[in-house]
Structure 1
Amino acid sequence: MLSRIIIVIVAFTVLVLVNHFLIDPYWGELVATAVIAGAVTYALGKVDGRKPSDPATR
C-alpha cells in the first residue's frame, strides 16, 4: 500500500514539474498551434478536389 502511495506522489510531482517548466511558458503557443492546425485541416478538407467518381478514391 505504501508503495502505491509513493508512486502516486512521485507521478504527481513529475506532472507538476513538467507543467511548470514546459507547459506554462508555452501555453499560448500550444493553443495557437492547435487552432491553426485545426483550421488548416478543415480548409484542406473543403478544397479537396477529388470526386466520388474519381478512380483514385475507390
Structure 2
Amino acid sequence: MVVRNVAQAVAALQAAELVGDMDELATHVGLTSLEMFGLAVVGMPWDTKADPASGEVIH
C-alpha cells in the first residue's frame, strides 16, 4: 500500500511541475492551460495523419 501511495505522490508532483509549462505554452496561443489540455484530449491530432500537400486528414 505504501508503494502505491508513493507512486501516486510522485505522479502528482510530476503533474504539478507541468502546470507551469502548460500555462506558458498556452499563453503563446491565447488559451488557458485547461483549454489547451481539453483540445489535446478531444482533438488528439496524433491519432490522425494529414496529407502534407493539402493538409487534409487521411483516415
More relative contact order, 1 or 2 (CA 8 Å, 6+ apart): 2
TM-score category, normalised to shorter length: 0.3 to 0.5
Q: What TM-score, normalized to structure 2? A: 0.44
Q: What TM-score, normalized to structure 1? A: 0.45
User: Which structure has the highest strand share of the two?
Assistant: 2
Structure whose alpha-carbon radius of gyration is higher:
1
